[in-house]
Amino acid sequence: MSDDYRNNHYVPVWYQKRFVNEGQKDRLLYFLDLKPGTFTDTRGIVHVKKPLHLKTPKQCFVQTDLYTTKFGAQISTGIEQSFFGDVDSKGSKAVEYFASFSQPSVDAQALESMLLYMSTQKLRTPKGLDWLASTMKASDHNAVLRHMVRLRQLYSVIWAECIWQIADASQSSTKFIVSDHPVTVYNRECGPRSGWCRGTRDPDIRLNATHTIFPLSLDKVLILTNLTWVRNPYQSAIDMRPNPAMFRNTVFDFTAVQTLRLLSEQEVREINFIIKSRAYRYVAGGKEEWLFPEQHVSKSNWFTFGNGYLLMPDPRGVDYSTGIFLQWSSGSVSKFDAYGRTPRQNGYSFDDAPDDEYNSLRRFQGEFAALIGPVRRGRSFHLGRLEPERDDEKRHERHLMLAKPGRRHGKSAASD
């Protein structure tokens, strides 16, 4: 049996290679151990181990027999060979598709592969598996791996109903880093020391204000934001979004994907700070200095990164649609509201959308215009064309008229 199937990369080598700096002739990554431990020398003196090393992607984020199942003296590497082989093969193509995504484009297979890859990636890391063991109360490693395979689509539906934003760091000298838990979640009211972030825990992706961050390459990052938070960022950040059920049908709108947002260097550093803060033990990057965003970013600013809206898509590019009809080849019709609810579900609001949510979105669009200015921070595809980069004077004035004073940015106890 080949040892290649027993040396398990919980962050795939192909994915790591996307973060190797182009100027690194040996194709190495700077690999930082956040918990390096100690050793005792021959004189009995205790030293801290060297935390930073240059390594090849094949040497990073790897653990022996992480996915190996054992039955007495027999072992099986089927999960690594068959399950992850297919997930990674399709996932690598999907990551490349979204890293180079531009409007208009529709690729249903890439979306399906991307959702499966990201959902599986969040579960397959040591942090994800430890969380799964704790949540499922499974002490047997074989049982944990079975849960991982069974729950591989756990996050897909919620992410499909998010507003997708692909942001660009090409104008920043600092580039994105990768962690040992690369599908990172951030909620501005759940700081690194909060109960939501202790041990293996992450803020639930279904909380209103939880964003999902997934770097696609040195220069590109995918940011997913719950629709309910874009429509109303004045509500509780830690309440559940509408229709939080995770295993059901839903619809994805490619035209709503926002592109062409150019990040400043400080914004890239803040995203890297979040990634590093949510890592379990290791981070890696193309340059040593990129691994230390805390030199430029303070943990005390967790709540106010980007004026509290670092990861928020531009709300001016979000339509207030109330739902969608689908007609199948059989002639039957399915009807979903904006949160994936069907007419038989409680809260269904296709025909009678709540006025308060409409009003809060309009208010936020005005507030965002006042904060950012007339230049759009991200652009979606609307009415057969890419939205203009800049609002004309009349549209900008209309947005400003919607803004109200008294933005809710007082720091809460939950953010510590």
DSSP letters spanning 362-411: HHHHHHHHHHH-SB-SSB-EETTEEPPSB--HHHHHHHHHH--S----PP
Alpha helices (runs of H) in 105-259, residue ranges in sequence order: 108-124, 126-135, 141-150, 156-160, 227-231
pLDDT at 329 over 80: no
Residues 168 and 276 in one domain: yes
Residues 105 and 159 in one domain: yes
Cα-trace Rg, the chain: 22
Query: Considering 289, 314, 339, which residue would you say is the last residue of a domain?
Result: 314
Total-model pTM? 0.93
Residues 349 and 303 in one domain: no
pLDDT at 87 over 70: yes
pLDDT at 1 over 90: no
Banded pLDDT at 351 (limits 50, 70, 90): low
pLDDT at position 410 is 36
DSSP-derived letter for residue 87 is: H
82: how many CB neighbours lie within 10 A of its CB? 10
Average pLDDT over residues 327-335: 76
Task: Say if residue 235 is exposed, middle or buried (CB neighbours under 10 Å; 0-12, 13-18, 19+).
Answer: middle
DSSP-derived letter for residue 306 is: G
Q: In one letter, which amino acid is 75?
A: I
Query: Considering 314, 336, 361, which residue would you say is the last residue of a domain?
Result: 314
Residues 147 and 49 in one domain: yes
Average pLDDT over residues 142-162: 96
Share of the chain above pLDDT 70, in %: 94
Q: Give the range of the structural domain holding residue 41, as residue numbers without chain letter.
A: 3-314
Banded pLDDT at 322 (limits 50, 70, 90): low
Banded pLDDT at 409 (limits 50, 70, 90): very low
Residues 116 and 182 in one domain: yes
Q: What is the pLDDT of residues 109-143, one digit of tens each?
A: 999 999 999 999 999 999 999 999 999 999 899 99
Residues 14 and 76 in one domain: yes
In the numeric block, which tokens belong to residue 90? 């399709």
Query: Considering 299, 314, 329, which residue would you say is the last residue of a domain?
Result: 314
Residues 114 and 222 in one domain: yes
